[in-house]
Structure 1
Amino acid sequence: MHDDVSAGPSTPYDPPTGPIPVIHEDADLLVVDKPQGLLSVPGRGPHLADCLLSRLEEGWPEVLLCHRLDRDTSGIMIFALTKAAQRKLGRMFEVKRIRKRYVARVAGEVAEPEGVIDLPLIVDWPNRPLQHVNHERGKPSVTEWRRLAHEDGTTRMQLMPRTGRSHQLRVHMRELGHPILGDPFYSERPEEWSRMMLHAEGLKFEHPITGKVMRLAAPVPF
């Protein structure tokens, strides 16, 4: 899931300030809680240079990128501190040996307790970076979901992507008929919410060097 350089034509990049919460650190890994509104990596142009990676490089010059979150998604991210760890983590993401868990608030009250969305996605070139469902040319995209609670006409959901396509959770929730609240691309009236209500809550994986099973989480901020 890749960065959104812009959340829309009228939305300037105004990243949050303050320290980045560290969830776990050892000789090989750095795991942090990315704030909403901060790019994972630099965008094009000097006005988009401030990002999570550049901020972490100030404290950990050796830090290496392993995956990304969209600008408006908050939550847990793993970085490597050695080339060996980066190489192994990259392979683990590739073969889907890292389990991700997200929490979202979506529009409307979801009736069913759980389900699976299997809809192939591809970039909508005239409107990039938007993605859309395309059964002929789209890449396989699968999301498991579970309803957590109804909240004032909305629903809190747990989302577990089996694949990692760009905007996958955002498009899949819209296709379910319950777009993520505050999503500047795929929901109606996003300005009614203080942020996009999507947070990467948890990761489960084997440590790339020691093999120890790691279960790490970042508290949901909404």
Structure 2
Amino acid sequence: MISLDLTARLLHRDALILILDKPAGLPVHAGPKGGPNLSAMLGQLSFGLPKPPELAHRLDKDTSGCLVLGRHARPLRTLNALFAEGGVAKTYWAVVEGGPATDEGLIDMPIARRSPERGWWMKPAEDGLPAQTDFRVLGRAEGLTLLELKPRTGRTHQLRLHCAASGFPIVGDAIYGSAPREGGPVLHLHARAVSVPILPKKPPVEAQAPPPDHMEERLRALGYAGPISPTPAELLRPPVPPVVRRGLRTRREI
């Protein structure tokens, strides 16, 4: 079990929506093998309502940062429509290997599933779904670049694939980048900010999440001097199961 106080990670709370700083290492839904997941913990955020809030979108397991939830059915319908229509402005930070030749630009690269057997894995494809990402360089140092990424579309693994296929994979990406499957750095992709126009006649709800501590060393080298969000150690380094020592029989017992 993972002890995680979600109330301490709230970035915004009102009568309609919540915005949570999701830690890296925690999947939003249960996988085929089960295990801890955010959806199973959302009862902490009911705040007196008869049902817990529900996710309005998703983040990858190892992506940290702003995650929007609807507190009941009405705002959830609005949120689902906003995300489907691209009405929610999302800003990500990524530390990448190398970096783009220009300090800002647009990655316009259609995306399709790699194969039915690969689940969520994606590939660039001329006949795929349209996918566009604006990027801006925030810092460069020691062969790394800190990018601000603003997706215009919301395709699966869009930012990870766009960066890798453009020649600058995200640090810690074991699917599209150079990171090993085991023992490498955690994915350096963070949902930095979100702007949600939940009520049409009022300003959008905005929130910003401090980057996670597993990105701190590289962010500091790239010029970031702001606050850092702690990540529960057991999420990034799962506890090793205890070794069960079986008793050895003596010769007299044999």
Which band: TM-score by shorter chain? 0.7 to 0.9
Per the alignment, residue 9 of structure 1 pairs with none
Q: Deviations over 1:194-218 (max 9, x none)?
A: 3100000001121247733222110
Per the alignment, residue 181 of structure 1 pairs with 171
Cα pair 1:144 1:162 within 8 Å, conserved: yes
Secondary structure in structure 2 of the residue aligned to 1:40: coil
Aligned residues with identical type, % of pairs: 33
1:196 paired to 2:184: no
1:67 paired to 2:74: no
Which of 32, 56, 62 aligns to 2:20? It is: 32
Unaligned runs of 5+ in 1: 1-14
Secondary structure in structure 2 of the residue aligned to 1:139: coil
- The alpha carbon displacement at 1:153 in A equals 1.1
Q: CA 1:16–1:217 in 2, change beyond 3 Å: closer, same or farther?
A: farther
Which structure has the larger Rg over C-alpha atoms? Answer: 2
Secondary structure in structure 2 of the residue aligned to 1:216: strand
Secondary structure in structure 2 of the residue aligned to 1:54: helix
State the alpha-carbon separation in 2 of the partners of residues 130 and 118 from structure 1: 19
Give the aligned residue type for 2:27.
Answer: L
- The alpha carbon displacement at 1:82 in A equals 1.4
Per the alignment, residue 44 of structure 1 pairs with 32
Which of 136, 140, 143 aligns to 1:146? It is: 136
Equivalenced residue count is: 205
Give the aligned residue type for 1:30.
Answer: L
Give the aligned residue type for 2:195.
Answer: K
Superposed, 1:1-222 pairs within 5 Å as 17-20=3-6, 21-45=9-33, 47-48=34-35, 50-60=36-46, 61-125=51-115, 126-136=117-127, 138-190=128-180, 193-208=184-199, 211-221=202-212, 222=215
Give the aligned residue type for 1:37.
Answer: G
- The alpha carbon displacement at 1:18 in A equals 2.8
Indicate the RMSD between aligned Cα atoms, in angstroms.
Answer: 1.8
Unaligned runs of 5+ in 2: 216-254
State the alpha-carbon separation in 2 of the partners of residues 189 and 197 from structure 1: 11
Give the aligned residue type for 1:201.
Answer: R
Secondary structure in structure 2 of the residue aligned to 1:87: helix
